[in-house]
Amino acid sequence: MSHFAKIQNNIVTEVIVAEQEYIDTLPGQWVQTSYNTKGGVHTLGGTPLRKNYAAAGYTYDSVKDAFIPPKPYPSWTLNATTCLWEPPTSAPVEEGKYYTWNEEAQDWTSAE
């Protein structure tokens, strides 16, 4: 069994697990996606598929053959290699601390 994303107007509307033979009987556009692919890397060392695992609301770019998540903030930019959105500055890394992006301040805020 594999995962397949239903695409309408380049937007993923649902993802299901099915056999290719079943998908071939369904109306509409269905594109296979890999649960183990993120940022163009297969997490188990296999061959990555379409840059990222699809989810409802993602965009399917047929030219890049990639699933792209929704843009989280206006200031973030799309990495053309990974097809993931990146903040203007990297998040701080401190053990035991969690940070969230503050779009108004254009900076990371500790969620302590």
Percentage of the chain exceeding pLDDT 70: 100
Does residue 12 have a pLDDT over 80? Answer: yes
Please tell me the number of Cα atoms within 13 Å of 52 on its side-chain side: 23
The per-residue pLDDT for range 78-96, each reduced to its tens digit, is 999 999 999 999 999 988 8
| Across 5-13, average pLDDT | 98
Q: Give me the pLDDT at residue 33, please.
A: 98
Q: Give me the pLDDT at residue 111, please.
A: 81
* Concatenated DSSP letters of 14-68: EEEEE-HHHHTTSSSEEEEE-TTEETTEETTSS---SSS---TT-EEETTTTEEE
Q: Give me the pLDDT at residue 97, please.
A: 92
Does residue 3 have a pLDDT over 80? Answer: yes
Q: Give me the pLDDT at residue 95, please.
A: 86
CA–CA distances in Å: residue 106 to residues 74, 91, 92, 94: 10, 11, 13, 19
The per-residue pLDDT for range 40-75, each reduced to its tens digit, is 999 999 999 999 999 999 999 999 999 999 999 999
Mean pLDDT of the chain: 96
Predicted model pTM = 0.91
